Amino acid sequence: MFKKNRKLTKQAPVKQEAATEKLAYDLQTNTDEIQEQFGKKSDLAIRFFEEMKMAVVYIESLVDNETIQTHVIEELNNQKAKLGATPLKEISLSVKKVIQIETSQQLKEQLLQGYTVILKDGERIAIAAETSGGDKRPVSESTNESVVRGPRDAFNESLMTNIGLIRKRIHTEKLKIYKCKIGTLSKTAVAILYIEGAAKDENFQEVKSRIEKIEIDGILESLYVEEMIEDPNGYTPFPTIFNSERPDRITAGLLEGRIAILVDGTPAALLVPATIGLFLTSNEDYYQRYDFGSFMKMLRAFAYLLSFVLPGFYVSILTYHQEMIPTPLLIALTGQREGVPYGVAVEIVLMELTFEILREASLRLPKTIGAAVSIVGGLVLGQAAVEAGLVGQATVIVVSFTAICAFTTPSYNLAIAARILRFAVIFLCAILGIFGLFFCLIVLFTHLNKLRSFGSPFLSPFVPYHKKSWMDFFFRHPWWSMETRPNEIAGSNQRRMPEESNNPHMRRRK
C-alpha cells in the first residue's frame, strides 16, 4: 500500500544534510540565503533593525500582521537599548510560543508554519515566535449533517480550532493527542486523538504506524489519508473509515473507544475502527427519547436496504414473477406500459441514470439555482417521459422512492455504495429474476463479512456476535442502561458507569 513513492526514500541522505546545516554567524548571509530560497518577489518579508543588528523574517500570507506589530516589532523597539548586549535566546516576547532554531531547515519549516523568525548578527541561532494567522472560516453550523436537536457547531479548516472543539467536550487529561506532519511538499499537520483506557493501545499504535508510513508529496484532504491507511480489503464500494464534520459525533466515537484523525485544512475528521452500525446511526438518535430513537434506527436500516434492492425487485417481479402481483395491480401496471418501447430493466436503468445526472448537476450548479433546477428538471423530465410513452408511471414512482430512501442514510459515503450496487442488482435481476436478487444479497453479506477496519470486523457486533452491542444496533437503549462501551471497540476500561450506581433505574434493574 505504501510502495508508490520509493524515489522519495532514496533522497533521504540529502534531506539529512540540509537538516543539519547550521545557520551562519553573519546576519546578511542568513537573510540572503532565505531570500534566495523563497524568491526576491515572493510574500517573504524581511525587516532589518540596523541599531540592534537584527532582522525579523516572516511570510505575509501566513501571519497575523497585528500580532507581529504589537508583540514582536514594538517590543523589540522598546528593548533596543539593552538588546545589543543581550543574547538572542534571552529576549522576552509576549507571544504564545517561542522556539529556538539552530539549522536552516528548521528556519524554513517554522516560516512555513506562520512563525516570525528573529535573527541577530554574530549568533548561529534564531528564535521563532508564533504569529500564525490570516483569514480562516469561523465555526458555523454543519451543512451536510443537520439535526433538529443537538449542537450546531461544525469543524472548519483549522486543525487547532478542531482540536479545541473536541477539548471543550472532553475535559480530561486522558484525552491524548499525537501530532505529526505528512507530505514532503505540503507538510500537512495531522493529529491522532484517543482517550487513554477507553481505546485499545494496539489500535493507536497501528494508526500511528500507518500514518507515519505515508509517502506522498502533498495532502489536501482527509480522503488522501483515508485511502492510504485503510485495511487492504481489495475492491469494495463500502467505506471502512468513518468521517464526519460534527465535533459531537467524533467525541461520541472517542468515548466509545475509537480513534479520531484530524487533518489540517479539512473540515472533517476520520474515525476508526468503523463498523456498519456507525454509518447507519445518527447522533440525533441519542438526543431524542429512546423509543423514538429506536424507531428511527430501524426505519433508517430498512430504507437503506430498499435504496439498492427496490429497483431490482421491481424488475424481477414485473419480468419473471407476475403471478406474485395482485390481479388488479397487475392490470393497472400492464395498462400503464402499453406503448412503452423498452423492457422494464432498460426503463429502470434509463431513469436511474437520468436521476444520477440530475443529482450531479444540482451539486455543480450555483447554490441559488441548483435546487430549483434539480426539482424542476426532475418533475419536467419525469412527466414528459411518461406522456411521451418512454417509461411507465410506476417506474417513475419506484425510482423516486428509491432516491428518497437513499437520502435517509446519515453517511454520504455509505449512500454512494448503495448507488453503485443498485445497478449490479438490476442487472442480475433482469437475467435471473428473484433468484438474482437473493444471489446478490448472499454475495453482499459474504463480502461484508470479509471486510476489516483496523482489524475489527465490519459487520461487528453481528459477526462476531455481541449481545449488548447487537441490541443497540437496532434499538436505542436508555442512557441509564448503557453501562459499558462496545465490546469489539473498547480497551481496558470498558465501563461508562460505575458498577455501584445511585441511579434509581439501575437499582431497580438489579
The answer, yes or no, to whether residue 505 has pLDDT greater than 70, is no
The answer, yes or no, to whether residue 6 has pLDDT greater than 60, is no
**In angstroms, how far apart are the furthest CA atoms of the chain?**
101
- pLDDT, residue 440, reads 93
Task: Provide the 3-class DSSP secondary structure of residue 440.
Answer: helix
- pLDDT, residue 261, reads 95
- pLDDT, residue 372, reads 62
Q: Whole-angstrom Cα distance, residue 500 to residue 510?
A: 10
**Position 258: which residue type?**
R
- pLDDT, residue 8, reads 31
Q: Quick check: 126 and 23 in contact, CB under 8 A?
A: yes
- DSSP element (H, E) containing 190: strand 188-195
Q: Whole-angstrom Cα distance, residue 174 to residue 170?
A: 9
The answer, yes or no, to whether residue 508 has pLDDT greater than 50, is no
- pLDDT, residue 7, reads 35
Q: Whole-angstrom Cα distance, residue 22 to residue 90?
A: 20
- pLDDT, residue 51, reads 79
- pLDDT, residue 309, reads 93
End-to-end CA distance of the chain: 50
Q: Quick check: 165 and 246 in contact, CB under 8 A?
A: no
Q: Quick check: 282 and 407 in contact, CB under 8 A?
A: no
Share of the chain above pLDDT 90, in %: 27
More confident residue, 467 or 403: 403
The answer, yes or no, to whether residue 354 has pLDDT greater than 80, is yes
More confident residue, 149 or 422: 422
Q: Quick check: 109 and 34 in contact, CB under 8 A?
A: no
The total of other beta-carbon atoms located within 10 Å of residue 274's CB is 26
Average pLDDT over residues 235-242: 91
pLDDT single digits (tens) 170-193: 988 889 999 999 998 888 999 999
- pLDDT, residue 368, reads 63
Q: Of 257, 249, 308, nearest to 281 (Cα)?
A: 249
Most confident of 16-20, 65-69, 168-172, 477-481: 168-172
Binned at pLDDT 50, 70 and 90, residue 374 comes out as low
When computed from its CA atoms, the radius of gyration of the chain, rounded to whole angstroms, is: 29
pLDDT single digits (tens) 266-314: 999 999 999 888 898 888 888 888 888 888 888 998 999 999 999 999 9
More confident residue, 450 or 86: 450
Distance of CA 433 to the CA centre of its chain: 39
The answer, yes or no, to whether residue 5 has pLDDT greater than 50, is no
- pLDDT, residue 321, reads 85
The answer, yes or no, to whether residue 367 has pLDDT greater than 80, is no
The answer, yes or no, to whether residue 123 has pLDDT greater than 90, is no
The answer, yes or no, to whether residue 331 has pLDDT greater than 90, is no
Binned at pLDDT 50, 70 and 90, residue 15 comes out as very low
Q: Quick check: 228 and 214 in contact, CB under 8 A?
A: yes
* Cell numbers at 53, concatenated: 543588528
Which one-letter DSSP state was computed for residue 390? S
Q: Whole-angstrom Cα distance, residue 249 to residue 413?
A: 16
- Residue 55 phi, psi (nearest 5): -140, 140
Q: Whole-angstrom Cα distance, residue 287 to residue 247?
A: 15
The answer, yes or no, to whether residue 48 has pLDDT greater than 60, is yes
What is the residue-averaged pLDDT of the chain?
83
CA–CA distances in Å: residue 276 to residues 30, 279, 456, 459, 460: 55, 5, 11, 6, 7
Q: List the Cα angle 491/492/493 in 5-degree steps.
A: 95
Binned at pLDDT 50, 70 and 90, residue 375 comes out as low
- pLDDT, residue 16, reads 42
CA–CA distances in Å: residue 288 to residues 31, 127, 284, 445: 61, 53, 6, 31
Least confident of 22-26, 87-91, 237-241, 422-426: 87-91
- pLDDT, residue 379, reads 66
Give the dihedral of Cα atoms 255, 258, 259, 261; nearest 10 deg: -90
Q: Is residue 509 classed exposed, middle or buried when 0-12, 13-18 and 19+ CB atoms within 10 A define those classes?
A: exposed
Binned at pLDDT 50, 70 and 90, residue 146 comes out as confident
Q: Whole-angstrom Cα distance, residue 209 to residue 201?
A: 12
Q: List the Cα angle 158/160/162 in 5-degree steps.
A: 70
Cis peptide bond upstream of 410, omega within 30: no
- pLDDT, residue 332, reads 81
- pLDDT, residue 89, reads 77
SS (H, E, C) 33-87: HHHHHHCCCCCEEEEEECCCCEEEEEEHHHECHHHHHHHHHHHHHHCHHHHCCCC
pLDDT single digits (tens) 389-418: 777 888 888 888 998 898 888 888 899 999
Q: Of 235, 423, 425, 430, nearest to 320 (Cα)?
A: 430
- pLDDT, residue 13, reads 40
**Position 347: which residue type?**
E
Binned at pLDDT 50, 70 and 90, residue 20 comes out as low
Model confidence, pTM: 0.82
**Position 291: which residue type?**
D
Q: Whole-angstrom Cα distance, residue 247 to residue 168?
A: 10
The answer, yes or no, to whether residue 227 has pLDDT greater than 50, is yes
Most confident of 5-9, 14-18, 339-343, 374-378: 339-343
- pLDDT, residue 10, reads 36
Q: Whole-angstrom Cα distance, residue 40 to residue 234?
A: 49
* Cell numbers at 420, concatenated: 453503485
Contacts of 385 (CB under 8 A, 6+ apart): 351, 391, 396
- pLDDT, residue 501, reads 60
Q: Quick check: 346 and 315 in contact, CB under 8 A?
A: no
Q: Quick check: 481 and 505 in contact, CB under 8 A?
A: yes
- pLDDT, residue 286, reads 86
